[in-house]
Copies of this chain bind each other. A is one copy, B any other.
Amino acid sequence: MNSNLPIGVFDSGVGGLTVAKEIMSQLPDETICYFGDTARVPYGNKSQETVIKYSRQIASFLLDQKVKAIVIACNTASAFALETLQREVSVPVIGVVKPGARSAAEVSKNGRIGVIGTEGTVRSGLYGTYIRELRPEVQVFGQACPLFVPLAEEGLCNDEVTMLMARRYLAPLLEQGVDTIVLGCTHYPLLRGVVGHVAGPNVTLVNPAFETAKDLKELLTSRGMCAESGRTPEHRFYVSDGAEQFRAFANSILPCEMIETDAVTVKVFA
């Protein structure tokens, strides 16, 4: 296998760029081949069956692009489709939920952990399952925050409206005395300022994007799959709809050198 082949990263839309950004920062030699399913976003309120079907189609597209590994940079798809893809796909597949869960299990002191995410991620209870595999005594409290994604996509990351919603969403978790909150949706790192402000200094925020990039690095290293060092990777971005809108959002969150990168609209589904 050519170790300079790209890493496939996919998400329901633009949110997974926060994961791509962490990979670029922690693994600067690796090329990213990103797919955002902008035609079918959001996944958070879709059924497991539908999310698995979409994830299969995207994995197949990424394999056509000759990726050496796949990162599911979407919490809902990680929760619903990781095991299916790991079983069916010929390259290593990692999701964002397990790394986030491991980190939360490590950092919580009082064993009370909050998980915020989409309806689908929270309903799946998968963060809790993984966290309790590592620390069975931990109590996990889930809270869906359905308005956080549209607020982030509207650029209202530091807005009073977002602050108001954050106070409402986080209140039940803070009442439970959590000392750790998992940002269980790829958009949420963009709202980290507001969430951190509302949660206060005694609560640690866990960013699964950061942990996932760390896991990816470990995986590539242990299997001797790291790209040659010192290369200048040419990242590629594909979306299922609206390349222009995607570009604008990507430019607002990726490091500056990405600004010039073109996004291409492709159809992964019939």
Contact = CB atoms under 8 A, between A and B. Distances in A.
A119 to B, nearest CB: 9
A172 interface: no
A43 to B, nearest CB: 10
| Max chain B Cβ within 10 angstroms of own Cβ: one of A150, A154, A241 | A150
Contact of A161 (B46, B153, B165): B165
Contacts of A40: 39-40
Contacts of A25: none
SS class of chain A's interface: helix, strand, loop or mixed? loop
| Max chain B Cβ within 10 angstroms of own Cβ: one of A46, A164, A269 | A46
B154 A164 contact: no
Interface in A139-173: 146-147, 150-151, 153-154, 160-161, 164-165
Given A40-B39, A154-B147, A241 B46 contact: yes
Contact of A242 (B47, B147, B151): B47
Interface residues of A, number: 22
Interface string A216-252: 0000000000000000000000000110010000000
Copies of this chain, count: 2
A90 to B, nearest CB: 24
Contacts of A164: 160-161, 164
Contacts of A245: 45
A45 B246 CA distance: 11
A270 interface: yes
Contacts of A65: none
A84 interface: no
A172 to B, nearest CB: 16
Contacts of A150: 146-147, 150
A50 interface: yes
A10 to B, nearest CB: 18
Contacts of A161: 147, 161, 164-165
A45 B165 CA distance: 23
7 contacts: A40-B40, A46-B242, A147-B150, A147-B154, A161-B165, A269-B269, A269-B270
For the complex of A and B, 9 pairs with smallest distance between CB atoms: A270-B270, A150-B150, A50-B241, A46-B241, A161-B164, A47-B241, A147-B150, A39-B50, A161-B161
